[in-house]
Amino acid sequence: MSEFFTANWLLISILVVFIVIFYAWYVSIITKRNAMEEAFSGIDVQLKKRTDLIPNVLAIAKKFMTHEKELLEEVTRLRTDVLNAASSNNNEQRFKLEGQLENSLSGLMIAVENYPELKSDGTMLDAQRTYADVEAHISAARRNFNSANRVLRNAIQVFPGNIIAAMVGVKAMAFFEISESERQPVNAAELLN
């Protein structure tokens, strides 16, 4: 009888230890997933700030830049496309469009340099500073997201995390990467012609 009691006690102890380890690992994975989702949300916040800033920059620039009408129209079109992709939760398309928008806005900021009256306008200078600030925050948010995503990927790709993640349906997202066209340097001469 005492051997039976000892064997059951040992089995129950092993089961309890297993459940505690499983639960701790589960909590760790969920915590990492939530951190990754929070970091992704941080990108959203910064991209929204940029999208909200664009109409102000365009309104100021339109007063001075009659020759760059195409560039202004492209920025406006891309902003609309980004908002549509965001509302349809098409993150892959949205990030592609965000990259194109970033390139066009960079071109707009370079084109501003050709207009001394615009370059010295206080409102435009504030808009440029705000734009640069927002772009720096977007870069930081993207780095934060990729870091949180890496931590989650490590947790769910290593045993026993891979089993637990599969059981509860936790998945990592793709890393934020720029497109090949965005890797090319901006040619300011093309934008100014």
So where are the chain's domains?
Answer: 2-192
- The CATH class for the domain spanning 2-192 reads mainly alpha
The pLDDT value recorded for residue 179 is 61
Q: Are the C-beta atoms of 186 and 110 separated by less than 8 Å?
A: yes
The pLDDT value recorded for residue 27 is 95
Q: What is the DSSP string of 127-186?
A: HHHHHHHHHHHHHHHHHHHHHHHHHHHHHHHSTTHHHHHHHHT--PPPPP---HHHHSPP
The pLDDT value recorded for residue 148 is 94
DSSP summary character for residue 114: T
Residue that has been written with the tokens 């908002």 in this structure: 83
The pLDDT value recorded for residue 43 is 87
DSSP summary character for residue 53: H
Tally of helices (H runs) and strands (E runs) in the chain: 8, 0
b or e along 67-97 (b: 16 or more beta carbons within 10 Å of the residue's beta carbon)? Answer: ebeebbebbeebbebbeebbeeeebeebbbb
Q: Are the C-beta atoms of 106 and 135 separated by less than 8 Å?
A: no
Alpha-carbon gap, residue 57 to 122, rounded angstroms: 12
The encoded tokens of residue 114 equal 């050709």
Whether the model clears a pTM of 0.85, i.e. scores above it, the answer is no
The pLDDT value recorded for residue 120 is 58
The pLDDT value recorded for residue 193 is 44
Low-confidence residues of the chain, pLDDT below 70? 1-2, 4-5, 63-68, 115-121, 178-193
Q: Are the C-beta atoms of 122 and 116 separated by less than 8 Å?
A: no
